[in-house]
Amino acid sequence: MTGGFFITGTDTGVGKTCTAIALMHALQRQGKTVLAMKPVAAGCLMQEGGLKNDDALALQSHASLPLPYPLINPYAYAEPVSPHIAGAHNPVQLAVVTRQFALLKSQSDCVLVEGAGGWFSPINSGQSNADLAAALTLPVILVVAIRLGCINHARLSQLAINQSGLPLVGWIAVCTEPNMSYQQDNIAFIGACLAVPLLGIFPYLSVVDFDFLANQLDISALGIGCPPSIS
Ligand SMILES: Nc1ncnc2c1ncn2[C@@H]1O[C@H](COP(=O)(O)OP(=O)(O)O)[C@@H](O)[C@H]1O
Ligand SMILES: [Mg+2]
């Protein structure tokens, strides 16, 4: 069964990459061949072979198959600023991303695609992550960092995802702060507002352990492994 998911978040730095890797582990445990992309990344360092980004390198290293870096991250921008600024010299073309996604999809059971920033963060001067997810016609998973303000961000994100017509198939609560008060109350409130499956709660970890995080996931709501993409 081929398919994939678009991993978006309430913001940048909310746990999208960690969640994507934990999901990769959970799906791989079910015997699935799982690949992941970070199509657009700003904040890349020149390394052997070109500009590379930490998120994309992490996704590459946890993939079920060895993949060339540019296939995972076709748009790697040096400056750690919004892609519409960092990539002004080489703007994202959705056709390039969809072509590479199709190539990865043809080799796997599931491709996870990590967005850049949040749902409406721009990927070029005229398009946002919403356009990217729509071009890939993927069901969406929302990562919510449990911190002050997260209820508003989660509800706004859901509204915007719904507006795109793509299904929001689940959300994940990531406790990126060690001592937030009323963490469970916030998670329960968001769960009631979103009313889509809570796929997992990631507690605060001083050292992130992907196997542990995969154990916190219940991906049964996603269907057997991955559903087909919705095109
Ligand atoms: N469960 C967790 N506990 C503590 N820190 C976390 C947890 N999950 C993620 N982080 C940290 O939060 C930061 C942002 O996570 P990341 O997955 O890179 O977010 P994003 O991809 O949304 O930018 C990273 O420093 C990461 O190590
Ligand atoms: Mg990331």
Q: Is 174 in the pocket of ligand 1 (CB under 6 A)?
A: yes
What span, in angstroms and rounded, lies between the C-alpha atoms of 71 and 99? Answer: 10
DSSP 83-142: HHHHTTTS---HHHHHHHHHHHHHT-SEEEEE-SSSTT-BSSSS-BHHHHHHHHT--EEE
- Please tell me whether the overall predicted TM-score, pTM, comes out greater than 0.85 for this model: yes
Strands 50-52, 45-47: pairing kind: antiparallel
pLDDT tens for 211-224 read: 999 999 999 999 85
What span, in angstroms and rounded, lies between the C-alpha atoms of 113 and 4? Answer: 8
Domain boundaries, the chain: 4-222
55 CA from centroid of ligand 1 (Å): 11
pLDDT tens for 59-70 read: 999 999 999 999
Note whether 176 and 14 are within 8 A (CB): yes
φ/ψ of 66, rounded to 5, equals -70, 130
Neighbours of ion ligand 2 (CB under 5 A): 16-17, 55
- Name the CATH architecture for the domain at 4-222: 3-Layer(aba) Sandwich (3.40)
Q: Going from the first residue of the chain to its last (231 residues), give the mean pLDDT of each consecutive group of 10, the final group possibly shorter.
A: 85 98 97 98 95 98 98 98 98 98 97 98 98 98 98 98 98 96 97 98 97 97 62 51
Pick from 23, 54, 208, 216 the residue to mutate for probing ligand 1's pocket: most ligand atoms within 8 Å of its CB: 208
Q: Is 172 in the pocket of ligand 1 (CB under 6 A)?
A: no
